[in-house]
Structure 1
């Protein structure tokens, strides 16, 4: 992912073309690929296990569908501040809920209450993030935008 003018860019291969949108497959790249500690690192191993591709529907935004071909490279982008605020939300809300309910559980029911409170907080925080993200699904700030098409091209 590259950053240009406050917009984070990602390249992907066009796998389907509609009259008003394209479907793009982007592949998750792991920053651990160049790290010397990768073989003994839990983060690197988890990254490989969960590594996957994402298939996104991206509106054409004025691009003409007849000038786009399958397997072209689409450069899509999203505002950097949208990604930053989303990442903070996804990581902090469950963590804060976990901590708060663990403290409440500890005060009310000692150690057992802290354990169950932490679990309830984590699950509740994750569910609230999911609820919020579903409500924001149609928000244009969080929707990827087609920036340009690179015919043929490198898909890495």
Structure 2
């Protein structure tokens, strides 16, 4: 399980909206002074993500929660978002290469395959139920 602390920003009868700070590994790296990614992360500053999870217990805005997601779900989502659209792009370009001799048609078919891949992944991930676990952090 991958865990992250998040703050409750609002809730209704069935949903809790949480705000979590995006984590970076640049703070742990020894070369952060000479690395472009480290310099960029210092310039951009802290960034936050907002997620919604099903409400299982009563919460108030400002409370801290621990959010857990299985590693398999994260790897599956990364595979879907990064690899499948590119495979659709290559399939579209390859299909048009064998059907037509025009390079412009090949480029257009590749871009159409890429867009189709993103659309298909969006529909698949939207209907997928990921077992995100939340636990209220006790305030001391």
TM range (shorter): 0.7 to 0.9
Q: Displaced runs of 4+ in structure 1, greater than 6 A?
A: none
Number of residues of Structure 1 aligned to a counterpart in Structure 2:
134
Uncovered stretches (5+) of structure 1, i.e. residues with no partner: 1-6
Give the TM-score of the pair, scaled to structure 1: 0.69
Q: CA distance change for structure 1 residues 19 and 109 in 2, over 3 Å: closer, same or farther? A: closer
Cα distance in 2, alignment partners of residues 113 and 44 from structure 1 = 41
CA contact (8 A) 2:70 2:131 kept: no
Across the aligned residues of Structure 1 and Structure 2, the Cα RMSD in angstroms comes to 2.9
Q: What is the aligned counterpart of 2:77 among 86, 89, 92? A: 86
Uncovered stretches (5+) of structure 2, i.e. residues with no partner: none
Residue 55, structure 1, aligned to residue 50, structure 2: yes
* Partner SS, residue 117 of structure 1: helix
Residue 119, structure 1, aligned to residue 111, structure 2: yes
CA contact (8 A) 1:10 1:75 kept: yes
Match of 1:104 in 2: 95
Q: CA deviation at 1:112?
A: 2.0
Deviations 1:124-151 (A, max 9, x none): 1011111112222xx2xx1422134142
Residue 38, structure 1, aligned to residue 35, structure 2: yes
Q: CA distance change for structure 1 residues 151 and 17 in 2, over 3 Å: closer, same or farther? A: farther
Match of 2:134 in 1: 146
Match of 1:24 in 2: 18
